Structure 1
């Protein structure tokens, strides 16, 4: 099995835990690390103005880069809100050109697969995610296939080896891969947009006075957030649809909005990023099931996304089951916390759902399609999310 969550989905309706981690932690007013696994408390923290980003090595990035012109993922407060507002138009999923790209790229990938008779699902999903994210960001002046290979090498976790030489070797390889991404993908895009600005993120950053190094850092951030996570989500959604014939049939018979609801329900149970971290910028109050509590300034708050998504108060009865028809908490997304919440909610959530719906609809209509080999799963230490590799699909 890929995960314990997949096993839980098959159970009729497991009993809920009598108390959550957040309730247990709430008995003390001050903690160096506060763990939260209830939906309401998680949403309150993520929407609070009293916390700052602490996940994805945010504090390390802040130490070396500083707050000025830091990637938007690592900004907070007014600067973050201003950047999100300025770039929101690039992530509108109804943009005709973006949808046309999703459909054309999906069609190309599926036709190539049908001709070959066999393919790796994670390679196909990465190529799609790179094509869509690159168009939004503005990385369109190099080969998409080559860029996908470069980014795959960049984000692939190497086997854990210890010692000075291994550490130095990892650092050198990381720097070389970053340099390769800059020279072959980022620099050509910057040059092209200085001459001819377009409606994309890089053109916006140039207009804002970002340096080449800052644009590179931003591009790497978007690559991680928009390409790597979407890749994993598409593979996981495909696996769940392969597992359940009735759900797969419903997905193919549905219109696009209903397909997205099915995909969001998969993502609720299998969030790509399993932990969201925030640092309390000042002393703050938090309402929990056990009553109000005080969180001391500088407390690290870790939100268990999977547990919050399976909180019965938010997900409804039998929260461990995959049920697209479930009734959820008011004003809650169908995927609950899987795209985050508050100011740092993933700006590309709608784009990721749309491209997954378009690609999987085309792929699953291939006659005699089958999953030949399930993927292996590892955990990325930076994103705390799963990585699914070597899933092979075949025809016949």
Structure 2
């Protein structure tokens, strides 16, 4: 953990090498997307965006989240069953869209477009060609272009036009104020939309699974106050990080980065998160009472340093809102999910996760 943190905090010593960032031509953007960028401009951009994800700012969205959860769960409860991975997708996209500034769009259609964008050939970050042939890269570009164009014309472009005439307290308005061009706003929306969708969607499903695997923790979660529930969620995400590997490219040897320039560095998040020097006792077991600061409880599951996820509080809050609503609705697991692995995100996928509900008129 200490070595990984030092590496991620070594300013300017490394650059982003995950998510195929090194394949995206710099000439396409005057301002690179926040997930892909590094350096002083990236740090300033990130600092300015923090206000949208502060606990105080997010509390203003809690009622919206609770209403969005109810809108999805009520029909499922009346039907008696639902796919949790589908519910989590729609919920996480709806919440991300609200904060980004895409709240006026059709959530189900937006979710389909974002999901289609990620139907990509596998990648191997440890190889120079990412383990893809030229044919694979052509297919990846072709398959991404259509949903990306649809995302722009149906969601991003109308939002840009609306925010130009009537700015709001959201990320698109913020980007317009700073002179971002449409293509740059598109990529920022894609970054926030997919980050909110892909990782939070999987984490929501994982929380439901892990809670039902540990009945004593599930019983606590049902009655616990928000702070205690957040501690439980933090422990689950430490053990089950949605992004299992972070990749950095060494640029210069510096304190915290003892590697020659050009070295690809693979930070194993899951292993770091079970460092016995930090997470004692029993680092592989769920123990919400660990004597750690709030930011330390999640380990490296939200990254660290310049690329620490600014939406960490949002991910925990929206997960808590949906899981709490599901449990109050009497949701139980009927079919355990199939577990796959997404090589682009470097994280798990839980699919075909079936829930059943108590009858709608049950107490």
TM-score under structure 2 normalisation? 0.90
Contact 1:251-1:259 within 8 A present in 2 as well: yes
CA offset digits 1:102-158 (Å, max 9, x no partner): 111112222121111111101111111111111111112311121112212222456
Contact 1:93-1:354 within 8 A present in 2 as well: no
* 1:310 pairs with 2:280: no
> Which of the numbers 339, 343, 358 marks the counterpart of 2:306?
343
Contact 1:62-1:74 within 8 A present in 2 as well: no
Q: CA deviation at 1:164?
A: 7.0
Q: CA deviation at 1:294?
A: 3.3
Query: Hey, what's the Cα distance between the residues in 2 that align with 1:71 and 1:325?
Result: 37
Contact 2:118-2:144 within 8 A present in 1 as well: no
> Which of the numbers 237, 241, 245 marks the counterpart of 2:211?
241
User: Secondary structure, in 3 states, of the residue corresponding to 2:249?
Assistant: strand
Q: CA deviation at 1:89?
A: 1.4
> Which of the numbers 233, 237, 260 marks the counterpart of 2:230?
260
* 1:46 pairs with 2:13: no
Query: What corresponds to 2:40 in structure 1?
Result: 78
Contact 2:14-2:251 within 8 A present in 1 as well: yes
Gaps of 5+ in 2: 124-131, 359-363
Residues 111 and 94 of structure 1: CA distance in aligned 2, closer, same or farther (over 3 Å): farther
Contact 1:157-1:380 within 8 A present in 2 as well: no
Query: Hey, what's the Cα distance between the residues in 1 that align with 2:295 and 2:144?
Result: 39
Contact 2:121-2:136 within 8 A present in 1 as well: no
Query: Hey, what's the Cα distance between the residues in 2 that align with 1:164 and 1:314?
Result: 44
Query: What corresponds to 1:16 in structure 2?
Result: none
Q: CA deviation at 1:307?
A: 0.1
Query: Hey, what's the Cα distance between the residues in 1 that align with 2:248 and 2:65?
Result: 34
Q: CA deviation at 1:266?
A: 0.5
CA offset digits 1:39-79 (Å, max 9, x no partner): 0000001111122222112211254535x310111222210
* 1:320 pairs with 2:320: no
Contact 2:101-2:170 within 8 A present in 1 as well: yes
Query: Hey, what's the Cα distance between the residues in 2 that align with 1:119 and 1:153?
Result: 21
Q: CA deviation at 1:101?
A: 1.1
Query: Hey, what's the Cα distance between the residues in 2 that align with 1:204 and 1:167?
Result: 33
Mapping of 1:95-174 within 5 angstroms? 95=57, 96-157=59-120, 168-174=138-144
Query: Hey, what's the Cα distance between the residues in 2 that align with 1:331 and 1:385?
Result: 23
Contact 2:93-2:107 within 8 A present in 1 as well: yes
265-274 vs 47-56, which moves further: 47-56
Query: Hey, what's the Cα distance between the residues in 2 that align with 1:113 and 1:352?
Result: 23
Query: Hey, what's the Cα distance between the residues in 2 that align with 1:93 and 1:380?
Result: 30
Bigger-Rg structure (1/2): 1
TM-score under structure 1 normalisation? 0.83
Contact 1:233-1:267 within 8 A present in 2 as well: yes
Query: What corresponds to 1:193 in structure 2?
Result: 163
Query: Hey, what's the Cα distance between the residues in 2 that align with 1:57 and 1:51?
Result: 15
CA RMSD of aligned residues (A): 2.2
> Which of the numbers 245, 265, 276 marks the counterpart of 2:246?
276
Mapping of 1:177-256 within 5 angstroms? 177-256=147-226
Gaps of 5+ in 1: 1-38, 287-292
Contact 2:246-2:269 within 8 A present in 1 as well: yes
Residues 93 and 210 of structure 1: CA distance in aligned 2, closer, same or farther (over 3 Å): same
Query: Hey, what's the Cα distance between the residues in 2 that align with 1:172 and 1:54?
Result: 23
Aligned length: 349
Query: Hey, what's the Cα distance between the residues in 1 that align with 2:115 and 2:352?
Result: 13
CA offset digits 1:172-193 (Å, max 9, x no partner): 2221111111111111111111
> Which of the numbers 18, 32, 52 marks the counterpart of 1:55?
18
